[in-house]
Chain A
Amino acid sequence: AQRVTQPEKLLSVFKGAPVELKCNYSYSGSPELFWYVQYSRQRLQLLLRHISRESIKGFTADLNKGETSFHLKKPFAQEEDSAMYYCALRTGGFKTIFGAGTRLFVKA
């Protein structure tokens, strides 16, 4: 079965602390993984994708096929990082499924 699991509904950290949002997936094929972010009162938008191997707004994510994980990390959280984060899995073709999401709250 194709599934994306984000075990934490809410993650609260202090400004300047490291942050890691967990994502695990289940898919028998070759996965394509994404992180989307939804800031308050804004539409859901792409943050990064694993094939780009890029860092966006200080965030990185590495695909670990052995652990079937794609955790999102940032060494020093900022208040403006507070948002809802969704991990997404694209299976064959166009179908993209999302995890339940993790709300990140960065405290001053």
Chain B
Amino acid sequence: DAGVIQSPRHEVTEMGQEVTLRCKPISGHNSLFWYRQTMMRGLELLIYFNNNVPIDDSGMPEDRFSAKMPNASFSTLKIQPSEPRDSAVYFCASSLDENTEAFFGQGTRLTVV
């Protein structure tokens, strides 16, 4: 297994544009997490899914952010419209069950100019 796969690896976009980040979890994993990493705040949990159902989205910063998981092998995090303060590295992670650790993707570095 190639691990958690995220795309794109880098994204540069203009303020106001829509941005979609993609994640493919490890096959068979039941939970998927989206995190945002910044210098100031470290790693923040945005939302997580269990069996494709959003369980906790209390970390989503505002309505401009939305996440979906249409099936067990794919998830998206969308920002519309994007703002410069959204610039960060966004990580996706998945875990098999509540007794195992989360495995992380390589992240998407988003820059909003």
Contacts and interface: CB of A to CB of B under 8 A. Distances in A.
Interface pairs A-B: 5 shortest CB-CB: A100-B42, A98-B43, A44-B104, A101-B42, A46-B101
Given A43-B105, A95-B48, A101 B31 contact: no
B113 interface: no
Contact of A44 (B41, B48, B91): B91
B20 interface: no
14 contacts: A44-B91, A45-B103, A45-B104, A46-B102, A49-B101, A86-B42, A86-B43, A93-B98, A94-B31, A96-B33, A96-B45, A96-B102, A100-B41, A101-B43
Interface in B28-66: 30-31, 33, 35, 41-45, 48, 50, 55-56
A13 interface: no
Contacts of A105: none
A88 B31 CA distance: 17
Given A44-B91, A93-B98, A94-B48, A99 B42 contact: yes
Nearest to B32: A94
B91 A94 contact: no
Contacts of B104: 43-45
Bin chain B's interface residue count.
20 to 34
Interface residues of A, number: 18
A97 interface: yes
Nearest to B59: A97
* Chain B contact residues, majority secondary structure: strand
Interface of B: 3, 30-31, 33, 35, 41-45, 48, 50, 55-56, 91, 93, 95, 98, 101-107
Nearest to B41: A100
Interface of A: 6, 34, 43-46, 49, 86, 90, 93-101
Contact of B55 (A49, A95, A96): A95
B55 to A, nearest CB: 7
